[in-house]
Structure 1
């Protein structure tokens, strides 16, 4: 039976007990708790081996109650804990073996996706304004590999190669991907589900580069200053300006959409 976030039985799940269901019926059951889930998402999770519905002789998927519960668990782990699919698969395998699993506390989107917060929890500057853990005033970042990036974005190699060909994302010199790359990959993947292709996003990339150029003009003199505290202030100023630029961009898009819809 599909469970709610609080663990209780959800309305409308008795249909899951009546027998094998089509993928459309499963989608209707899941959307009460997961309104953004799509058929493509369910198929992707199947392709990753996280759920294995039966197939009719003609090839149609037939989901049982256990499949629906498994999908719910996967979606809940993604939504509430921001776990990559690789970790989720390990959790499910452990449950299948009858083992107990220990989950981290619920994560906030800002904790997982904020590109201006360091991945490993170190701050960009100490309380006295000095340099961060790496001595430069910039946060240290933890890189992820290509497979981890693909799992986080729920994408395949072909999609990633296309994103890289359009300059939307790229590895660092050591071949790994930083927190910003993970965030971009997730967003680009989500936009793709609405039909927006990488070629459509070149204008967004160009706009971001122009905004970054404006921020750099403001902080460049501070970066060149001989005083270490002033250089550290340049980093915090850059982050603040970047945050304001993102907020302004979002507000302008909302305003432009509002003008077109009225």
Structure 2
């Protein structure tokens, strides 16, 4: 049942945010987030903002953390919304669930992802400036002002691969393979993408993440099968 803005304010103890204020806070981390995407997440019961007497949505700080978690799980781990919702439902019920692949420990469910400068990223990964630059040149890490956990994991992996003589230039094909997979996903989305309404765009984005997750499962299986023959 939807909360009123007064109930949310009394339970949360902090000022409530409008859709515009939520976007202002989250867009630096999630540039694709839009009002239609927020409404789509509400329709899927991932977040339940309060409502004013006039029907306007108002978000608490807990709602903001919940949204950041959902968006991070989609972006960094390609988890379908139904999986994320099941995880959140278990957490709300007081259980201690785990996400597929151990994506995020339950204890840190709604933590804010740390964003790092280039120098911080290089230092935390134990990399060199040359390795970082090579990773950018090979399109293994995309240029940015700030970098998240995904970039850190990639750079750490490149540090370890370098110890075995595998350099970023050897992995240029990874970007080409990713672009081929993107072509498959775009083809699969054509029936949904033809509908131009906001709800359909949000559904297309969610379906794209689900397909990407399934492709990741197939790719992992192929690699494991090949390794077993070595």
Structure of higher CA gyration radius = 1
* Bigger RCO (CA 8 Å, 6+ sep): 2
Q: Report the TM-score when normalising by structure 1.
A: 0.43
Higher relative helix content? 2
What is the TM-score of this pair, normalised by structure 2?
0.48
